[in-house]
Structure 1
Amino acid sequence: MHAPGRFDNLHRIRSLDPEVDHDEILRLTARYEFPWDYVQGTGIAFMRDYGVPPIAELLDRTREFADHGVKRYDDTILIGDEATLDGIDSPRSHAALRRLNRIHGHYDITAADFAYVLATTIVGPVRWIEAYGWRPLDPVELAAIAKVTTRFGELMGLKDLPATYDGYLALLVDHERRHFAHTPAATRLAEASIAIAKEVAPPPLRPLLRRVTIAVMDEPLREALGLPRQPRWFVRAVRGGLRLRGRLLRFAPPRRTAYVHRPSTYPHGHRLEDLGPLSMLDELNAHPATGGHHRA
């Protein structure tokens, strides 16, 4: 049993070609079918980055999460939106990616770590939807999401990226097997991220938010972040509640309007010129964006 029209978007997705229609498929999947799940999965994905010591050390050193956390959170989502809302190869997307490259150009980040961070942005939401979504993702959706992810990486100047979801999953698993380790920086970043989540969450959810966030983490991630183990009954209750939500959503009517992130940092709207670390804004906006790839 399911609500009338519940699978209309899926029927539409299956009629499309992920090689050509990847932007439309991603829009339907992320903004209509699984908007909340996509945001949660992306949030956990960001925290995986902290388990890789060089990434954690860099992010901790910038103090962006500690000092300007909500702006950093909003900007990350908004650059992703700028890159995808009109399509990954639209002028709007290319402008956003040029800006992202100029921000990254201030830091010494290896191509392997960049590729890993990119992999988390696809694996995080997919794993979340596999665990808690109201239906499984279709192979057409996975192919389209991988296509957009790879193009995003190419526009960042990355080479030899995977072409499939399974390729990104293998990249992530391998990188974590070789590099995941606990550092004090990882714990500071994780606690700062949880504080950001509390700040943007509805007040009734705030008291339990830290424990719930830890409860949905896999053990390697929790250990890398140095966060306290939660009681088994609590972990079971949280995950069971999320699965129940997914089952109940089968009976909900399909979403009629696209989900769009509403940033608390910019209540009256934002421009691309607003996005980026405060300390860099003058420099970023002083010259028209010109390429500017990261250093591999």
Structure 2
Amino acid sequence: MNINATLAASLHRQEIAPPDGWEATFRQMVLFDLAADMELGFFLSYYRNFAIPSIAATLNANAEIQQRPMKRSYDTAIVIYELIACGLDSDRGQHMVELLNRVHRSVPGSKDDFLYVLLTLLVVPIRWIQKYAWRQPAVAELAAASRFFTELGARMNIPGMPGTYAEAEAFFDHYEASHVAPSAEGQLLMDVTVQVFQDRLPKVLRPLAKRLISTMLDDDRLTDALGLPQAGRITRAALKTGLTVRNAITRRRPLKTKPHFIPGDAGSSLYPGGYSLDQIGPANVPHSPVPSGNELP
């Protein structure tokens, strides 16, 4: 097999994707072509919120993360993957949007705080892909990802959503420059949530969880704010080498045919037999009637 065959096939399909097919383009990116890197990017975006003192204070006061760190982490991922896999206007997608709106209805915060939290899910994974993935994101993928979160923001009544990825990056960088800072609440949330990452690691690497997170964040300002150890040259070199080898292997393999996420399916220690939508979200937030079916569009 030609070493670039899978790369060429993936890029060509996504580069010629029509603008009005943005949901399908983003779905292909997240569930197939760049699935592993998008998942890791979503994971890192979750931690990033703890470096904003006002957001950390709100999350700490809610106490959901401290009481159920594993459930909060997995449920956050499930919500975003349900929206991507099923579509924003599908029955399951609408159920997830309604859940998000109910969860955030009484949450304090400025419009910029809410906008930042949403844009971490766009900017952080894209930047990880640009730096470490087996191929660069196509222009059409950047547009599709931006449109997805613009549409989600509209359904969540978040004003001021950027119209392009470049605008999203500009807001993201300006917000972090003004707001990232250490806080006791942020460091507590980081300490509590590290166990979620540790559970995904081989046992021999679990003591290094915090240093690995620092290495992946690759931002001294963030690691200081979160109370994490500074990443060293050895761990940075190990990460780069490991991803280089992984990428070389990935390029030689056929493109994925099974999606990275199947709605309602098993796949985690938290929901080993699968899950229903009424299991997702905080226990004290009521659910609307749950739609049936878990088919991909």
TM-score (norm 2): 0.89
Q: Distance in 2 between matches of 1:61 and 1:243?
A: 41
Q: Which residue of 2 aligns with 1:246?
A: 247
Q: Which residue of 2 aligns with 1:224?
A: 225
Stretch of structure 1 that moved more, 1-10 or 91-100: 1-10
Stretches of structure 1 lacking an aligned partner (at least 5 in a row): 290-296
Q: Distance in 1 between matches of 2:233 and 2:169?
A: 27
Q: Which residue of 1 aligns with 2:159?
A: 159
- Contact kept in structure 2, 1:134 and 1:248, CA below 8 Å: no
Q: Which residue of 2 aligns with 1:60?
A: 60
Q: Which residue of 1 aligns with 2:49?
A: 49
- Contact kept in structure 2, 1:41 and 1:126, CA below 8 Å: yes
- Contact kept in structure 2, 1:37 and 1:125, CA below 8 Å: yes
- Contact kept in structure 2, 1:45 and 1:120, CA below 8 Å: yes
Stretches of structure 2 lacking an aligned partner (at least 5 in a row): 291-297
Q: Which residue of 2 aligns with 1:266?
A: 271
CA shift at 1:3, angstroms?
Answer: 5.2
Stretch of structure 1 that moved more, 231-240 or 139-148: 231-240
Q: Which residue of 1 aligns with 2:132?
A: 132
Call closer, same or farther: CA 1:200–1:64 in 2, change over 3 Å: farther
| 1:41-61 deviations in Å (ceiling 9; x for gaps) | 111111111111110011122
Correspondence 1:8-47 to 2 at 5 A: 8-18=9-19, 20-47=20-47
Call closer, same or farther: CA 1:222–1:10 in 2, change over 3 Å: same
| 1:149-197 deviations in Å (ceiling 9; x for gaps) | 1111111111221011111111110001111111111111112221111
Give aligned pairs, total: 284
Correspondence 1:135-146 to 2 at 5 A: 135-146=135-146
Call closer, same or farther: CA 1:170–1:124 in 2, change over 3 Å: same
CA shift at 1:24, angstroms?
Answer: 0.8
Q: Which residue of 1 aligns with 2:294?
A: none
CA shift at 1:84, angstroms?
Answer: 1.8
Q: Please tell me the residue identity of whatever aligns with 1:118.
A: L
**Identical pairs, percent:** 29
Correspondence 1:196-235 to 2 at 5 A: 196-217=196-217, 218-235=219-236
Q: Which residue of 2 aligns with 1:292?
A: none
TM-score (norm 1): 0.89
1:195 aligns with 2:195: yes
| 1:60-82 deviations in Å (ceiling 9; x for gaps) | 22222222111101110111122
| 1:209-244 deviations in Å (ceiling 9; x for gaps) | 322111122112112212121332222322332234
Q: Please tell me the residue identity of whatever aligns with 2:155.
A: L
Between 1 and 2, higher relative CO (CA 8 Å, sep ≥ 6) is seen in 1
CA shift at 1:288, angstroms?
Answer: 5.6
Q: Which residue of 2 aligns with 1:294?
A: none
CA shift at 1:276, angstroms?
Answer: 1.2
Q: Which runs of 4+ in 1 moved over 4 A?
A: none
Q: Distance in 2 between matches of 1:202 and 1:79?
A: 26
Q: Please tell me the residue identity of whatever aligns with 2:14.
A: I
Q: Distance in 2 between matches of 1:208 and 1:250?
A: 29
- Contact kept in structure 1, 2:37 and 2:125, CA below 8 Å: yes
Q: Which residue of 1 aligns with 2:99?
A: 99
